[in-house]
Amino acid sequence: MAMIEIRDIHKTYGTFDVFKGLTIDVEEHQVVCLIGPSGCGKSTLLRTMNGLEKIQQGEIRIHGDRMTGPGVDLNALRRDVGIVFQSYNLFPHMTVLQNVTLAPIRVLGQSHDEAEDTAMRLLTRIGLAHKAKEYPDRLSGGQQQRVAIVRALAMGPRVMLLDEITAALDPELVSEVLNIVRDLATEGMTMLLATHEMGFAREVASKICFLCDGKVHEEGPPEQILGDPLEERTRSFLQRIIEAGRL
């Protein structure tokens, strides 16, 4: 059983079919990168896996538990699935520590002490313990995004979903965020991430999935997908990425 099973999902927005039978497996400890043109559904897929979007057909399971369809346990889902977005979405009126401890206290029922211990341990690991009492607007974009990752990790998720988490950052702040993701990969966190950082995908991905026209158009190990793709549409997408200087 794969840790993440996305099985033949279909979804429409009005008359637009965003997924037309999309299937992906992510094994435990694997890092799978989603690539594809803007609008191909990368964000929608990750949002669907976190219960933020509905699908019309197919199913998604995480560790065997159904994440879609009627009767889904939203609390279990939020515990098991950590998600980080391009825009960090920290609560501006809460300190870093409050941002990180909120869900463990509210959703997991942890005591304040327990939640703060975990939060401080995680913040120490990413070198931001000294910012615990600061408000997000006093942090750089890279620091805010690192806090957003820690906020997701504080729930003890089984999987992490990352949606172009470096896309809004100044170039010099990208590496501090990617370093955390690299560490998580090394520690064996199962991750599904949408990214435009092809060099990073080549380095950390167990598998790259090229999304196009509502499906996984081509998938395989990074050296094959980025180096010698079989499909014409994968090739032309990568050609555009190369022309933009991103590969």
What are the residues binding Mg ion (CB under 5 A)?
Answer: 42-43
Question: Is position 44 an interface residue for ligand ADP (rule: CB under 6 A)?
Answer: yes
Residue 147 contacts residue 94 (beta carbons within 8 Å): no
Partner from Mg ion, ligand ADP, none binding residue 152, C-beta < 5-8 Å depending on class: none
How would you classify the pairing of strands 190-194 and 31-35? parallel
Rounded to the nearest whole angstrom, what is the least distance from the CB of residue 94 to ligand ADP in the complex?
A: 27
How many of the other CB atoms lie within 10 Å of CB of 94?
A: 14
Report the C-alpha gap between 78 and 86 in whole angstroms: 19
Q: Report the residue number, 190 or 195, with the smaller CB distance to ligand ADP.
A: 195
Partner from ligand ADP, Mg ion, none binding residue 44, C-beta < 5-8 Å depending on class: ligand ADP
Among 6, 31, 40, 193, contact with ligand ADP (rule: CB under 6 A): 40
Residue 124's identity, in one-letter code, is T
Residue nearest Mg ion, CB atom distance:
43
Partner from Mg ion, ligand ADP, none binding residue 104, C-beta < 5-8 Å depending on class: none
Rounded to the nearest whole angstrom, what is the least distance from the CB of residue 194 to ligand ADP in the complex?
A: 6
Residue 54 contacts residue 123 (beta carbons within 8 Å): no
Q: Report the residue number, 101 or 166, with the smaller CB distance to Mg ion.
A: 166
Q: Report the residue number, 10 or 125, with the smaller CB distance to ligand ADP.
A: 10
| Helix and strand totals (H; E) in the chain | 9, 10
The per-residue b/e assignment along 106-135, b for 16 or more CB within 10 angstroms, e otherwise, is: eebebeeeebbebbeebbeebebeebbeeb
Rounded to the nearest whole angstrom, what is the least distance from the CB of residue 217 to ligand ADP in the complex?
A: 13
Which residues, 157 to 196, sit near ligand ADP by CB under 6 A? none
Q: In 127-231, where do the E strands start and end?
A: 159-163, 190-194, 207-212, 215-220
**Footprint of ligand ADP on this chain (CB under 6 A)?**
13, 18, 36, 38-44
